[in-house]
Amino acid sequence: MNGLTSPQRIVICFNPAINGAAETANELAIQVSKSDREAWLSALPDPSKQPAEDFRRELERADLLVCVGGDGTVLHASEHAAITGTPVFGVRMGRLGFLSEVTGEEAADALDSVLHGVGRIERRSTVRSEVNGGSPSFALNDVVIGRASLGRTISVGARVDNVLLAEYRADAVVVATATGSTGYALSVGGPILPPESDEVILVPVAPHLTRANALVLSPNCEIDLYVERGFEAVMTVDGLRERPLDSGSRVVVSHGELVVDFVRIGGPNQFYANIAERLGWLRSDHVLDTLED
């Protein structure tokens, strides 16, 4: 199974704010226990309310993390799984998503397959960001530098490998991984990258008097973003962690050392089927009939 064979210790986490997630997670935990494997069930730790030490400790012992919720839940859980090297199997609860492999209704049968070693590992890259030379943060999805207040754009200079690329006057600037290419970056006109690609995307959001070209950059490059003097901004990492950026702040984004392994049931071409379905590209019965002929 490309790195995952019949997992014996499974952590199952859920987002308590999503309807039905706790019930589905509990049913999956019972299923795991009945298969003579060890299951540890937990709500996903809220960093603002509880420490994650117990959760991280259990992940270090686990062969698999089953995450029940939406893409935001999977992103949050993946932050811990990347550090412990635990593969992630996502279950989405009735929401549009690209990170979760199956729906709640499909979860029991799909998990049974995974427990018996059916499936494959899909490895996703991350990016590393440092603010003013401080401690690094890692993002599976994206790093966004956006305006600190409504009604005013920000001005962000961008260098790639020390070459001045642009001076963006915009609502935000997004640096996205392949995983993030189907998120915020896509909504502002960025391209979609294959899921295991190491390349990154740089794209401005609503640029003022500037062409809004998205760039696909080498994973080996270093992206240097700096908030121009007289402006203030906010940086978000995966939409989970936020920090203010003072005038003159510098953010360096580069390839991340961490990776996240996702467990997939379908083949590699399933990604394109998911894209077509979830973005509504195939709306005509005539088109579908033609493709099936």
71 labelled catalytic: yes
Catalytic residue, chosen from 36, 71, 161, 261, is 71
Position 289 scores a pLDDT of 55
Please give the pLDDT value at position 1. Answer: 42
pLDDT at 151: 72
Q: Which residues contact 174 (CB under 8 A, 6 or more apart)?
A: 142, 143, 144, 180, 184, 185, 188, 190, 201, 202, 203, 204, 205
- Averages of pLDDT over each 10 residues, the chain, 293 residues: 76 96 98 97 81 89 96 92 96 84 94 94 97 95 92 92 94 97 94 97 90 90 96 94 95 97 90 85 60 52
What is the reported pLDDT for 47?
A: 67
Domains of the chain, start order: 9-119+265-292 (3.40.50.10330), 127-257 (2.60.200.30)
